[in-house]
Structure 1
Amino acid sequence: MIPVFAQDARPCDPPNSKKAEKLVKQAREDIKVRKFMPANAALKEAIELEPDYAEAYYLLGLINVKRIDYNVKAAETYLSKAIELCPQVDVYAYYYLGDIYFGAKKYDLAVKHFKEFLKDVDKIKNDKDYNDASEKYNTVRFFDKSLNAPVPFDPKPVRGVSSPLDEYLAIISPDNEMALYTRKIEYRQKAGWESSAKYIERFVFSKRLPNGDFDNGEFMPYPFNQQNNEGGATLTIDNRELFYTVCKTNTSNYLNCDIYTSKFEGGQWSEIKNLGANVNMPDNWETQPTVSSDGKTLYFVSDRKGGQGGYDLYKTTRDSNGVWSKAVNLGNAINTPGNERSPFIHTDSQTLYFASGDREGDDGQYYKGHQGFGGYDIFYTKMNDKGVWEKPKNIGFPINTEADEASFFVSTDGKTAYVASNKIKGGPGGWDLYYFELYPEARPEKVLFVKGEVKQQDNNEVVTEARVELKNAVTRKVTQIPVNKETGQYVAAIKFDADYILTVKKDDFAYESKYISEKDTAFEKPVAVDFEVKPIEKGKSYRINDINFETDKYDLNNQAKLIIEEFASFMNDNPHLEVEIQGHTDNVGNPDYNLFLSDDRARAVYDYLLKVGIDKKRVSFKGYGITRPIETNATEAGRARNRRTEFYIINK
């Protein structure tokens, strides 16, 4: 076949045989009234008379396209021959061949033929054909490009969670220690001497084992699993508030799904609570919730009226009183005339993953989702600095296939993705949960996940009314982190694009902080920072963490300056404090030299405190060298503890 791009404006040469021309004319009329057998015979006779008669070959191809017993191979042969003899034979030769190659998954050829068809708009009979070809052209271009550039994908079953039963609608807690998912189990009902089996969904949790796998799972305890269809959960980052779907049959025998919540308090889960009319509607499904890391925005799926398509994605926000706002549709950047399901908002709170697919409407028409490979495909989108969602991207082949892909989510560190599938080989059977390394382009923003607890050093009791602040070392933006009054625990997840200083504050308690460096932090696990705070007492010394000096130097680096600025804030919060900045060294080197060095380092801290506004009447400094060790100098760990900067309370 000659290249399809070789078309020129010259029409096909007329046949030399008048009889052949007459036979083709009659065949055209027969085809219009679907008299394919006489038309077929006439065209073959015409070709015997005129072997290079392009239109005869085109019409033979057309017959094979239109017949009920569609002969694809014959249609391809005749249409290709027609184009070879005369590229201008009929623009629809390219349309039909494009369709044939599309069906045969020869996407590169389909692209070329649909492109040729769409070039000659004036010869396209109607808008329907043009729109159909345009849609197919875009689809085959997408297929051709995607299949020739597959993304990395090496899935493995999540052991313990995956079983011979079906597991889906899964999540793993932000701290990576617990999995929540739906498992379909067989339930046998007895009726007299006989019993019948049916399958019901159970809401299940599995705990992470020391080897990295999960245990085999247990049913979630009361108040969960009181209905036959429960699951599709999401957790706040502290694992203490859960949102999930409960489906109940109402008085009209309609299975209605709503979103409920429960809180973990006093060692157990509270009674479940419906999120109310701002979120749930009486005659529509609300399902598959996913919550942002700050716990203030909940995304979910609903088929309510007024959306973009069938199932759409919505969001609701929680105010300071804990009230959820009236749900709003995410709009046509996310939602399509098709269906959108299985949303997952990453812990970065700005990367959204979801599934999209086509649907058949009540009117019998098909409505398109986002461009995919078939069934439900996974997409991702990111929110820009203006709060607008970017155009969703297909996550790529072979993660997405012609089958349904759903229940997709990503670990807090952004490196590991999970997907439920009944098509991937290697699982125990049915729908299983798989994990794989997510390629960099589809990963969320880098997140700092930090957690810990605040206790009083002397008695290990929970410190009530403590505040934890996280300050960006570059922007100086401060994030307030709630501390659980019952446990003293705190947890936060924020975009990690700089160093941070973590500070705990409480009235009449000493300054306590921890510096978190971006380059020194591993993101696979949460950063654990426990604070043991101490009351301010006159005549006592307190360490200032993470003020580090280079060997034999007393210059302040940017890290030290930020820490001193935070200490100055502590001084401003306690305006009656008078302190002495103390410098200490280990026993390595000359004692007299160490004494002078410690004094210079204490002076450097003192000078910077004055620079940032602390009254010199409230602060003094002194170096103590090796004279006041708090640990043995016989070990490196002990010497590291002895190299320190402290503040001593002169007056309070």
Structure 2
Amino acid sequence: MKKIAFFCWVLLIALTAQAQSAKKLFKEAEGYFEEKMYSQALELYLAGLKLDPENPKANFNTGLCYLETAYKEKSLPYLKKTQQIKPDIHKQLLVFLGEAYQYNHQFSEALKQYQAFLNTMEKDDPVASYINRKMFECNNGIRYMKDPAKATINNIGSVINSKYADFAPVISADETVLVFTSRREGSTGEELSPEDNQFYEDMYISYKANGKWSTPRNLKEINTDQHDACVALSSDGKQLFIYKDKQGGDLYYSDFDAINNIWSKPQSLGDNVNTKYYETSISMTSDGQTIYFSSNRPGGSGGLDIYMSHKTPEGKWGEAVNLGPSINTPYDEDAPFIHADGTTLYFSSRGLAGMGGYDIYRSEHNEDGTWTAPENLGYPINTANEDIYFVLSADNKHGYYASAKEGGVGEKDIYIISMPPRKTVEVASQIKTIQVKAAAPTVKTVEMKMQEPIEINSNATIVKGKVIDAETKEPLIADVVLVDNITATQLEEHKTDTEGAFSTFMPSGKNYNFSVQKEGYLFHSENFDIPEAKGFQQFDLVVELKKINVGSKIVLRNIFFDFDKATLRKESTAELENLLEIMQEMPKLKIEISGHTDNKGSAEYNKTLSGKRAKAVVDYLISKGIPAERMRSAGYGKERPIAANDTDEGRQLNRRTEFEIIGK
């Protein structure tokens, strides 16, 4: 009996000590909870509940803490237990339980909790509108989960994701560049953020080669000791858009210096974009002429709205225009992403028919300036949690976003979505189906490969590749220039990187002069005539630049004549100006302009026509002040083919205008 009494006494002491220890933990946790420092409070509550698992207030507050974190679904068991132990602990327990069930996609059970709470309310209670909205979301969730989208979602992997929060991924159109925001160890800020005791946000960059992502590099040249978050990347991966906490929240941009492999100091997007209110997200069309951004400035539909702005002739962003009620609601719309096709807008909304929090939607821009009714991307892309900052590759195959999912690498991870097919569009898989007015003179000089046919609805063309010296085969840093031949307007100019690599994006519906230029070399040009609704295309080019030596010659692929005529068309202007520039910069240079044809027609006719066309180019240069004695024209007709004349492709190659150096 004495032994039993002693054992009971020891047990009582242990239980008392355990209860006191739990009480101490709960008291400390409550201090953090009242200060809204939920992560710190949660850690202490969980430790205390191991000692005192039946404590109703600790269970309740643990559930509320989880509702304030990225892992909202983990609130459910604690709130259920609270209801079992002390159902009258809080008048809105049923609401919190409804939210917990909703985050776990148990929508029918969530509806029961919301309805039970509604039954206790007065009809004019302002909370009723919130509950009705939540019930609307649950009914949407039931509908979307019955007919899920054929999409698969996979973690991008531990090379990119860390044990910390990694989020806001942005990609180049061809998926070779990835920039994202992370709160991992090693951030530029030396101390932890006082807001939540975590590392400051920094931006990181990774490159894909041979299907694998490189180890992310901290963008130390533009990260500061405060929060720095990326919000968009241009289609070619050369311009990065950044959110900064300035006068509320402003948007900045930084340009990539390919030679020094660094990003420039961020610059503000200007007063038409940034205001004293919040501007949180942005996306730019592939031609660089239009931006879409979110702002909560006065005059909108309510909360954050999506606006657009066009670039002015002076290179600044013009007046912001609200996209209107087709897109914006009285709730928040954020994270716009304009696809590479220039017409499909993806964005997140809290006000449309979603499953809870932000859902991702898609809308098409009509020719009359209106937008189609937004389409929910469906489950499992959308969930009952916050689904935001979605971006999509140019070929529509892969989407990227961040989410806090069970089994992830860290708190919030970046995921890649294999997107469901939308509409089958025929895509050329052979060179003969590509609408290029003049192809390469030899396979050796320019190699073109097309992607295999895929199911897409994307009107976009990517041209990427490498620039090398024609003799040494060494990579060259050169200027890549893109011009609209119809308007003779330069659309883009950027340098290749130190490896000679480049990537250029071309929206459908234009005739392009694509040229590569470097001092001391003849320029190289290609023509891309891309009709509307062509579908996604990718060209891989190896451009060999030839040094300016006697005997060097190039094909002028953007010199155009009408059928059976020798009058230069206006689309030739940009190419002629490139030629003129060489002649002006090298006043001792002597050249021959030659015309060539295929084998159709008589030899005499072809020689005469080709000669007249060559002379038209020389006459243009003379009209611009180039002395006639520095130039000669020649028509060779069908005498000098560079390809067989038994195919359309071969004949197209043979119909050309050439430029050759004959003295310097």
Instruction: Say which is worse superposed, 436-445 or 476-485, in terms of deviation.
Output: 476-485
Q: For residue 163 of structure 2, what is the aligned residue in structure 1?
A: 164
Q: For residue 93 of structure 2, what is the aligned residue in structure 1?
A: none
Q: For residue 315 of structure 1, what is the aligned residue in structure 2?
A: 308
Equivalent residues of 2:362, 2:374 under 8 A apart? yes
Q: Does residue 1:410 correspond to 2:392, yes or no?
A: yes
Equivalent residues of 2:347, 2:362 under 8 A apart? yes
Tell me, in whole angstroms, the C-alpha distance in 1 between the residues paired with 2:467 and 2:604.
Answer: 28
Two-structure CA RMSD over aligned residues (Å): 5.7
Tell me, in whole angstroms, the C-alpha distance in 2 between the residues paired with 1:611 and 1:648.
Answer: 13
Q: Does residue 1:398 correspond to 2:372, yes or no?
A: no
Aligned-residue offset at 1:377: 0.6
Flag the 1:489–1:610 CA change in 2: closer, same or farther, 3 A.
farther
Q: Does residue 1:385 correspond to 2:367, yes or no?
A: yes
Equivalent residue letter for 2:253: T
Aligned-residue offset at 1:530: 3.0
Residues 245-290 of structure 1: CA distance to partner in whole angstroms, max 9, x if unpaired?
A: 1226x8xxxxx322222233462333223334332233x3222222
Q: For residue 514 of structure 1, what is the aligned residue in structure 2?
A: 526
Residues 15-69 of structure 1: CA distance to partner in whole angstroms, max 9, x if unpaired?
A: xxxxxxxxxxxxxxxxxxxxxxxxxxxxxxxxxxxxxxxxxxxxxxxxxxxxx99
Tell me, in whole angstroms, the C-alpha distance in 1 between the residues paired with 2:325 and 2:417.
Answer: 30
Q: For residue 279 of structure 1, what is the aligned residue in structure 2?
A: 273
Aligned-residue offset at 1:305: 2.8
Q: Does residue 1:374 correspond to 2:384, yes or no?
A: no
Equivalent residues of 1:345, 1:352 under 8 A apart? yes
- Aligned to 1:146, what secondary structure does the other structure show? helix
Tell me, in whole angstroms, the C-alpha distance in 1 between the residues paired with 2:279 and 2:324.
Answer: 17
Aligned-residue offset at 1:380: 1.1
Tell me, in whole angstroms, the C-alpha distance in 2 between the residues paired with 1:559 and 1:151.
Answer: 51
Q: For residue 263 of structure 2, what is the aligned residue in structure 1?
A: 269
Tell me, in whole angstroms, the C-alpha distance in 2 between the residues paired with 1:500 and 1:418.
Answer: 30
Equivalent residues of 1:501, 1:513 under 8 A apart? yes
Give the paired residue count: 477
Equivalent residues of 2:236, 2:505 under 8 A apart? no
Residue 636 of structure 2: which of 611, 621, 626 is its match?
621
Flag the 1:385–1:561 CA change in 2: closer, same or farther, 3 A.
farther
Residues 287-314 of structure 1: CA distance to partner in whole angstroms, max 9, x if unpaired?
A: 2222222223332222333321222223
Aligned-residue offset at 1:244: 0.3
Tell me, in whole angstroms, the C-alpha distance in 2 between the residues paired with 1:607 and 1:613.
Answer: 10
Residues 380-405 of structure 1: CA distance to partner in whole angstroms, max 9, x if unpaired?
A: 11211123222211111221121221
The 5-angstrom pairing of residues 597-608 of structure 1 reads: none
Residue 344 of structure 1: which of 337, 349, 374 is its match?
337
Aligned-residue offset at 1:432: 1.0
Aligned-residue offset at 1:376: 1.1
Aligned-residue offset at 1:578: 7.1
Instruction: Say which is worse superposed, 481-490 or 380-389, in terms of deviation.
Output: 481-490
Residues 200-223 of structure 1: CA distance to partner in whole angstroms, max 9, x if unpaired?
A: 332232323434232342321123
Equivalent residue letter for 2:403: S
- Aligned to 2:152, what secondary structure does the other structure show? coil
- Aligned to 2:275, what secondary structure does the other structure show? coil
Tell me, in whole angstroms, the C-alpha distance in 2 between the residues paired with 1:494 and 1:150.
Answer: 33
Tell me, in whole angstroms, the C-alpha distance in 2 between the residues paired with 1:546 and 1:565.
Answer: 10
Residue 448 of structure 1: which of 461, 467, 479 is its match?
461
Q: For residue 259 of structure 1, what is the aligned residue in structure 2?
A: 251
Q: For residue 213 of structure 1, what is the aligned residue in structure 2?
A: 212
Residue 148 of structure 2: which of 142, 147, 150 is its match?
150
Flag the 1:196–1:468 CA change in 2: closer, same or farther, 3 A.
closer
Instruction: Say which is worse superposed, 198-207 or 377-386, in terms of deviation.
Output: 198-207
Flag the 1:190–1:462 CA change in 2: closer, same or farther, 3 A.
closer
The 5-angstrom pairing of residues 162-561 of structure 1 reads: 162-185=161-184, 198-227=197-226, 229-247=227-245, 256-265=248-257, 267=260, 268-282=262-276, 284-357=277-350, 369-423=351-405, 425-441=406-422, 445-451=458-464, 468-469=482-483, 480-484=490-494, 492-496=504-508, 502=514, 513-514=525-526, 527-528=540-541, 530=543, 532=545, 542-543=554-555
- Aligned to 2:483, what secondary structure does the other structure show? strand
Gaps of 5+ in 2: 1-86, 89-105, 116-122, 424-455, 584-590, 620-632, 645-649
Equivalent residues of 1:481, 1:492 under 8 A apart? no
Equivalent residue letter for 1:170: P
Equivalent residue letter for 1:199: Q
Aligned-residue offset at 1:156: 0.9
- Aligned to 1:325, what secondary structure does the other structure show? coil
Aligned-residue offset at 1:416: 0.8
Q: For residue 361 of structure 1, what is the aligned residue in structure 2?
A: none
- Aligned to 2:231, what secondary structure does the other structure show? strand
- Aligned to 1:243, what secondary structure does the other structure show? strand
Equivalent residues of 1:355, 1:405 under 8 A apart? yes
Aligned-residue offset at 1:371: 0.8
- Aligned to 1:375, what secondary structure does the other structure show? coil
Q: Which structure has the greater CA radius of gyration?
A: 1
Equivalent residue letter for 1:484: H
Tell me, in whole angstroms, the C-alpha distance in 2 between the residues paired with 1:489 and 1:190.
Answer: 36
Equivalent residues of 1:407, 1:419 under 8 A apart? yes
Equivalent residue letter for 1:493: F
Flag the 1:601–1:477 CA change in 2: closer, same or farther, 3 A.
farther
Equivalent residues of 1:470, 1:503 under 8 A apart? no
Tell me, in whole angstroms, the C-alpha distance in 1 between the residues paired with 2:288 and 2:483.
Answer: 17
Tell me, in whole angstroms, the C-alpha distance in 2 between the residues paired with 1:269 and 1:608.
Answer: 48
RCO (CA 8 Å, sep 6+): is it higher in 1 or 2? 2
Gaps of 5+ in 1: 1-67, 70-100, 111-124, 251-255, 358-368, 548-557, 585-596, 634-638
Counting aligned pairs with the same residue, the percent is 25
Aligned-residue offset at 1:621: 2.7
Residues 76-100 of structure 1: CA distance to partner in whole angstroms, max 9, x if unpaired?
A: xxxxxxxxxxxxxxxxxxxxxxxxx
Tell me, in whole angstroms, the C-alpha distance in 1 between the residues paired with 2:563 and 2:504.
Answer: 21
Equivalent residue letter for 1:240: K
Tell me, in whole angstroms, the C-alpha distance in 2 between the residues paired with 1:281 and 1:196.
Answer: 24
Aligned-residue offset at 1:328: 3.4
Aligned-residue offset at 1:453: 7.2
Instruction: Say which is worse superposed, 497-506 or 257-266, in terms of deviation.
Output: 497-506
Q: For residue 362 of structure 1, what is the aligned residue in structure 2?
A: none
- Aligned to 1:207, what secondary structure does the other structure show? strand
- Aligned to 1:156, what secondary structure does the other structure show? strand
The 5-angstrom pairing of residues 560-639 of structure 1 reads: 579-582=593-596, 620-624=635-639
Tell me, in whole angstroms, the C-alpha distance in 2 between the residues paired with 1:190 and 1:230.
Answer: 14
Aligned-residue offset at 1:431: 1.2
Residues 85-140 of structure 1: CA distance to partner in whole angstroms, max 9, x if unpaired?
A: xxxxxxxxxxxxxxxx9844899xx9xxxxxxxxxxxxxx99x9x99999899767
Aligned-residue offset at 1:571: 9.5
Equivalent residue letter for 1:446: N
Equivalent residues of 2:596, 2:610 under 8 A apart? no
Q: For residue 116 of structure 1, what is the aligned residue in structure 2?
A: none
Q: For residue 586 of structure 2, what is the aligned residue in structure 1?
A: none
Flag the 1:286–1:606 CA change in 2: closer, same or farther, 3 A.
farther
Q: For residue 27 of structure 2, what is the aligned residue in structure 1?
A: none
